[in-house]
């Protein structure tokens, strides 16, 4: 596929803009993912949002209808907390059987699942929080890598390296298609990522205020009002750091972590996924560990995803023009 921003990522996914709408637990439903497809980018349904495999299967089928043959994928998060024997195996079987073409993995190394996924013709985009993990995933044979920096919503890893450093370092070592993520929300940032050596960007937080995200309008209004200083880190004591919207729950969790360390029993009533899920349903964003990144500062109104993506593309074109206008001044001119 050709376009103003033709890269190895647009080729890999068959999309117009090198932008990935990464998996969002409870929120990246078929409607959102289809909106991404129609906007010329690729989105991922999050398998973890569907405790019942039959519901995941139905959502994939619904997405296929809504996307009209345009590309979409499924996010398979394999967080460390999941013990051996979790349902990743069953989800892998399901996506293979359903003819899904793209999978975004995150968390553990996806190496054990690659033979099955590749045999089914599925391209695997693996998401990592450090360059070290990126190198291992490349060696393991994934098809593309997303490296997320500390600014991101959700899991920034434990080392908290910012996106600017992380993406530039990754570009030195990673030879397969590379995506930068963490705090990216504007077209100028997309151009910056391409300049750093990435082939595209992944976005979570900026898209949370898309109309197609199925969440209460009060929750989205809270995000629209939020600034870059309104997120915080929790759950580092469990070595499962999450960047989330600062609220009553994050204060409570941080207090428990200070006083009791990673006491899972004390933390669980606050960090359980169902608490966050309730906030999306009721709009009461005071409670729940609600994954949100620093780029929430750019989420300034609720509008269709296509409008957000269109603006991002226009901003990227403007940034390219600006860069092109910075023609080198010869030293003779500069110094008279």
Ligand X SMILES: Cc1cc2nc3c(=O)[nH]c(=O)nc-3n(C[C@H](O)[C@H](O)[C@H](O)COP(=O)(O)O)c2cc1C
The residues of the shown chain that bind ligand X, judged by CB under 6 A, are: 22-25, 27, 46, 48, 75, 77, 106, 127, 148, 151-154, 181-184, 202-206, 208, 291-293, 295
For residues 17 and 309, the answer to whether their CB atoms sit within 8 Å is yes
**CA–CA gap between residue 204 and residue 20 (Å, rounded):** 9
Shortest Cβ 156–ligand X spacing (Å): 8
Shortest Cβ 206–ligand X spacing (Å): 6
Shortest Cβ 276–ligand X spacing (Å): 8
**CA–CA gap between residue 191 and residue 182 (Å, rounded):** 14
* Residue recorded with tokens 């990754």: 170
Which tokens hold the place of 308? 């957000």
Q: Nearest Cα to 246, choosing from 267, 226, 228, 232?
A: 232
- What is the DSSP annotation of 234-249? E-GGGT--EEEE-SHH
**CA–CA gap between residue 238 and residue 257 (Å, rounded):** 9
Q: Dihedral sign, CA of 203, 23, 7, 166?
A: positive
In the complex, residue closest to ligand X by CB: 204
The nearer residue to ligand X, 2 or 296, going by C-beta atoms, is 296
Shortest Cβ 163–ligand X spacing (Å): 8
The nearer residue to ligand X, 151 or 257, going by C-beta atoms, is 151
The nearer residue to ligand X, 166 or 291, going by C-beta atoms, is 291
The nearer residue to ligand X, 53 or 266, going by C-beta atoms, is 53
The nearer residue to ligand X, 170 or 208, going by C-beta atoms, is 208
**CA–CA gap between residue 92 and residue 87 (Å, rounded):** 9
Question: Taking CA 22 as the corner, what is the angle to CA 21 and CA 23, rounded to the nearest 5 degrees?
Answer: 125
Shortest Cβ 2–ligand X spacing (Å): 26
The nearer residue to ligand X, 246 or 266, going by C-beta atoms, is 246
Q: Which residues contact 259 (CB under 8 A, 6 or more apart)?
A: none
Shortest Cβ 241–ligand X spacing (Å): 12
């Amino acid at each position: 596929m050709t376009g103003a921003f033709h890269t190895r990522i647009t080729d890999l996914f068959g999309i117009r803009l090198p932008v990935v709408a990464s998996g969002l637990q409870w929120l990246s439903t078929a409607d959102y993912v289809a909106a991404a497809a129609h906007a010329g980018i690729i989105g991922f349904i999050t398998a973890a949002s569907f405790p019942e495999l039959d519901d995941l299967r139905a959502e994939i089928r619904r997405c296929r209808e809504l996307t009209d043959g345009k590309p979409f994928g499924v996010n398979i998060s394999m967080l460390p907390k999941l013990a051996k024997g979790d349902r990743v195996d069953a989800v892998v079987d399901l996506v293979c059987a359903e003819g899904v073409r793209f999978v975004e993995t995150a968390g553990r190394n996806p190496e054990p699942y690659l033979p099955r996924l590749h045999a089914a013709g599925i391209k695997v985009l693996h998401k990592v929080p450090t360059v070290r993990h990126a190198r291992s995933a490349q060696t393991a044979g994934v098809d593309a890598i997303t490296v997320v920096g500390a600014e991101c919503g959700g899991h920034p890893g434990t080392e908290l390296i910012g996106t600017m450093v992380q993406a530039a370092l990754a570009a030195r070592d990673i030879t397969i298609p590379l995506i930068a993520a963490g705090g990216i929300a504007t077209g100028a940032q997309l151009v910056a990522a391409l300049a750093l050596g990435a082939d595209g960007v992944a976005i979570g937080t900026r898209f949370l205020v898309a109309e197609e995200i199925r969440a209460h309008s009060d929750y989205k209004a809270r995000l629209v009002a939020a600034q870059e200083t309104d997120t915080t880190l929790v759950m580092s004591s469990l070595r499962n750091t999450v960047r989330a919207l600062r609220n009553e729950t994050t204060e409570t969790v941080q207090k428990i972590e200070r006083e009791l360390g990673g006491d899972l029993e004390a933390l669980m009533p606050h960090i359980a996924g169902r608490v966050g899920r309730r906030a999306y349903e009721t709009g009461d964003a005071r409670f729940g560990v609600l994954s949100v990144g620093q780029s929430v500062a750019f989420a300034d109104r609720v509008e269709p995803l296509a409008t957000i993506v269109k603006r991002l593309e226009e901003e990227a074109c403007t940034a390219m023009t600006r860069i092109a206008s910075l023609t080198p001044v010869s030293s003779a001119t500069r110094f008279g």
